[in-house]
Amino acid sequence: MANDVPRSGINSTLDALPPTVHGRYVPLSVVGEGSSTTVYRAYDVFADRDVALQILRSDPELEPIRRRFLSATRAVIEIRHRAVVTCLDAGETETGDPYAVMELLEGQTLGDYLGRVGRIPWTEAMPLFLEAAAGLGAIHAAGLVHRDVKPDNLFLLGPVDAPKHVKILDFGLLTRMEGSSEAVQEWVVGTTEYMPPEQVLCDPVDARSDIYSLGAVLFRALTGELPFAEVPRNRVLAHHLVSPAPPASWLVDDLPPGLSAIISTALRKDPENRFATVRAVREALERVALGSLPAFEAPPLTHAPDRYEPRGEASSAALRALGGSLAA
């Protein structure tokens, strides 16, 4: 059946495509590239449909990610939620490279959409972020942390100028919740602009880490700006550690009461001061969407002042180093 694959979707550089995987998945074209993986449009010979085939690139430096890739992907196979991309299969290619097979989506990422429109009116953003929060809840319920919540990993479905639904993508950095050895990072991983303090310092992560990132994405979507948009990279990381994010209402004056407080609560430095669960985030967003009164107010700090306390000598040293970069 491989010879019957329609050729219209194949890119012009056939030699650059990997071989068919286990006689079943025939790569047709490159549809995306990340820091560690390449995603192909592929034809599933057995199921007679096109799928997304994600393959971890061969690189000795990716060995720690390689060890987690398959276990994380196989865990995602068990998640069935409308706001999480469906993972269909996972394994290793004939050359030993881990791969994952997912449903093929047609649409655009939130990152692409924001690149065109700048920012989204809050009324349009609410349904999308309510779905994103629900999808993250399903991931957390499975005992997993995404660790790379960002606009490029939120895929929008529906009309190109008026998307209606969202699906969470890319599980290359997925890890187990705090309490597992997998929750501790060996080096800084993630996307600088959306990274919570504990992830910056390679401390253990949990659901509240994804909540911080979701808050940063919501800030970007509603204001058209990032909470911290300074270069070089080490200064952005330092801001995540020690600088309070500005209220979104400073940049957009038509936000409803409570929405800016939701974002500020999600972006608190100390995880104990954030929302405890993504369900709590969703419930707060629902109150805004419904216009419920009284308006959401940021809860009192559990730990005051709000600052991140490192959990070991290595992260303490990293905090001192990065904090010093702001004074340089």
As to burial, measured by CB atoms within 10 angstroms (0-12 exposed, 13-18 middle, 19+ buried), residue 234 is: middle
Residue 5 lies in a domain: no
Asked if residue 230 and residue 171 are part of one domain, the reply reads yes
Q: Is 307 in contact with 269 (CB distance < 8 Å)?
A: yes
> What percent of the chain lies above the pLDDT cut of 70?
89
Q: Which pLDDT score is estimated for 58?
A: 79
Q: Looking at the domain assignment, is residue 42 inside a domain?
A: yes
Strand (E) positions, the chain?
25-33, 37-44, 49-56, 87-92, 98-103, 108-109, 144-145, 154-157, 165-168, 175-176
Is the distance from CB of 37 to CB of 55 less than 8 angstroms? yes
Q: Does any domain span residue 13? A: no
Going by pLDDT thresholds of 50, 70 and 90, the confidence category of residue 186 is low
Classify the C-alpha dihedral 175-180-186-187 as positive or negative.
positive
- CATH number for the domain spanning 36: value is 3.30.200.20
In a domain? residue 80: yes
> pTM value?
0.89
Do 93 and 138 have their domain in common? no
119 with 86, same domain? no
Give me 32's structure tokens. 């995306």
Inside any domain, residue 6: no
Are residues 39 and 132 located together in one domain of the fold?
no
**What is the tens place of the pLDDT at every residue in 88-113?**
999 999 998 999 999 999 999 999 99
Tokens representing residue 194 in the block: 């959306």
Three-state secondary structure call for residue 32: strand
Cα 298–122–127 angle (5° rounding)?
95
**Final residue in a domain of this structure, among 103, 123, 150:** 103
Average pLDDT, the chain: 88
For residue 328, is pLDDT > 60? no
Greatest mean pLDDT among 45-49, 304-308, 319-323: 45-49
Give the burial string for 3-34 (b: 16+ CB within 10 Å, else e): eebeeeebeeeeeebbebbeebbbbbbebeeb
| Residue 319 scores a pLDDT above 90 | no
Instruction: Encode burial over 66-100: b for 16+ CB neighbours within 10 A, e otherwise.
Output: bebbbebbebbeebebebbbbbbbbebbeeebbbb
Spatial contact of 148 and 196, defined as CB atoms under 8 Å apart: no
Mean pLDDT of 119-146: 96
Distance CA 135, CA 79 (A): 10
CATH of the domain at 261: 1.10.510.10
| Identity at 114, one-letter amino acid code | L
Question: Does 270 lie in the same domain as 206?
Answer: yes
**Annotated catalytic sites, by residue?**
148
* End position of a domain, from candidates 103, 119, 134: 103
The reply to whether 121 and 144 lie within a common domain is yes
What is the separation of C-alpha 261 from the centre of its chain, rounded to a whole number of angstroms?
22
| pLDDT bracket for residue 128 (50, 70, 90) | very high
Instruction: Express each pLDDT in 3-19 by its tens digit.
Output: 333 333 434 344 589 99
Report CA Rg, the chain: 20
74 and 128 fall within a common domain:
no
* Residue 232: other Cβ atoms inside 10 A: 9
Q: Is 154 within a domain?
A: yes
For residues 89 and 120, state if they share a domain.
Answer: no
pLDDT at 2: 36
Does a structural domain hold residue 275? yes
- Residue 170 falls inside a structural domain: yes
Same domain as 91, residue 62: yes
Do 29 and 145 have their domain in common?
no
Counting the structural domains of the chain, the total is 2
CA dihedral 290→296→302→308, nearest 10 degrees, is 80
Q: Do 115 and 94 lie in a common domain?
A: no
Q: Which domain holds residue 48?
A: 21-103
User: Both 199 and 75 in a single domain?
Assistant: no
Last residue of a domain, one of 42, 71, 103: 103
